[in-house]
Chains A and B, each alone.
Chain A
Amino acid sequence: MKLFSRMSDIARSPGDPVVITPGPSVKPAADQMARGLGWFSLALGAFELAAPRTITRFLGMEGHENLIRAYGAREIAAGMTSLSTEKELGLWSRVFGDALDIATLMAACRYSNPKRENVALALAVVVGITLLDLGSANAQTMTHSRRKGRHRDYSDRSGFPGGAIMARGKALERQRSETTGAIR
C-alpha cells in the first residue's frame, strides 16, 4: 500500500502533503479474514465454473457437471459479497454454501462410488472450512453489529437553546423583519 501511495503522489501538486510514514491499519481481524475467504471463494468458484469435469472425475460424480457449475456461481457470489461492505452476509452465505457442499458430498459418499476415499477427503476439507467460515461469520457479526437494546436517548438534544416550540418559524420571522427594515 505504501508503494501505491508513493505512486499516487504524481497526481499531487508540490505543496500537497505526502505520506512519510503510514500509520497502523486498524482493520479488525474479522475483516481481514473475510477478505481472505472472499478471495478464496472467487478462486474456487472460478475453478468450479471452468473445470467442473476435473472435480466430478475426482469425486466420482460424473454427469453432475452442471451442479458443480452452479456451485461455482454460488461461490463467486459469496466471494464478491464477502469482499464488499456486506461481509457479514457474504460469510453467512458461505456457511450456507458449506452446508450444501457437505450434503452433496454425503450423498456421493456411498459404497458404490469407486472414488469414495476422495469424497471422504473432500468432506474432511469442507468440514474444516465450514468451521473456519462459522468462526469468521460469528466474528464479523460480533465486530460490526450494534448491540441491540443498548442505545442512548438524545431526547434532551433539541439544538434550540429556547426550545423547539419557540424556534418554529423564527428564521422566517427574522427574514421578514429584515426585509421590512430594509424597505423602510
Chain B
Amino acid sequence: MKQENSTILEHRLFHGDYRLLKFSAPSIGPHVQPGQFVHLKIPRFEHAVLRRPFSIFKADTESVSILYKAVGRGTAALATVVEGEPVSLIGPLGTGFPMAGNGKIPLLVAGGYGNAALYLQAAKLPVKGVAFFGGRTADDILCVDEFKALGWDVHIATDDGSLGQKGFVTAALDAWLEEQEAGIRGHGSGENCFQGSEKNSKPQRSCLELFACGPNAMLKAVGDRAIQNGLTAWLSMDRNMACGVGACLTCVIKRKTADGWEWARCCKDGPVFNAEEIIWED
C-alpha cells in the first residue's frame, strides 16, 4: 500500500457513458493483484472530505487504469479532470480474487462495468472459462473484445435485449449451466468437466468456480446459485467507504463465524469475499 502523487496520463470516453482514466503509478502498478482497488482524491472537489474507491481495471509497472461512469457528485467532478493533472492515489488496496482451485473451470459474472474488476483476474487465470456480462442496454456491455482476446467465451445478456440474450445475466448463467448438464453444448474444458462425472448420474457442477462483480442484487443472486449448487463463488462487494485502509469501520458487512457473525471490512478483509461467508441484509 502506497500513497502516490500521480498524474493523469489518459482520460477518454471508453464505451457509451463509461470513461477510462489512466494514472502514472510506478509505486502502485507493479503490486496490483486482481480485484484490488485504488482510493482516489478527486482533484478540484474541495468540499468533499472523502476519497473515492475504484476497482483497478488494468495495471502495469508504470500505471493503473480505472473505468467509471458519472453517477454522483464525485464521479461528475472526476469527469472534468484533464490529462497531465496531478491526483493523489492510495493503492493497491484490499484483498482481491484468489486463483481458481486446481482443476476448476472459472466462470466470470459481471454487471455493467463490474467486469473492470475482473479483467486482471481473467488475464491471470491459467484456464480460460466462460464470462457472463449483463447490463441494461448494449451501451452497458464493455470490454467484450478484450475478454475474448484473452481466450474467454463471452455470453451477454441485456435487460432490453439490445445485445445478447434478453434478461438478467444470471438467467444467461442458468441457461448455460442447464445446457452443460444436458450436454447440448459444451465449452472446451467445461465439457470435459461435466463429462468427467459418472454416466447416468447428475453432472458435477462442483468443477466450476465463480468470480463476480456488479450490483448487489446480482452478486446475491450469483452467491445464492453457487451455494445451492455446491459451488465456490468469490464476490467483489461494493460498500461506501471512508478511509479505505481498514481504520474507520464504515464499509463493514456481516461475515459468518463459527458462533455467529462479525463485521468484516470491505476495504481490507474484502472487497472479495467467499459467498458462503456473507450474511445478506436489505
Whether A and B are associated in the same complex: the answer reads no
Interface residues of B, Cβ cutoff 8 Å to A: none
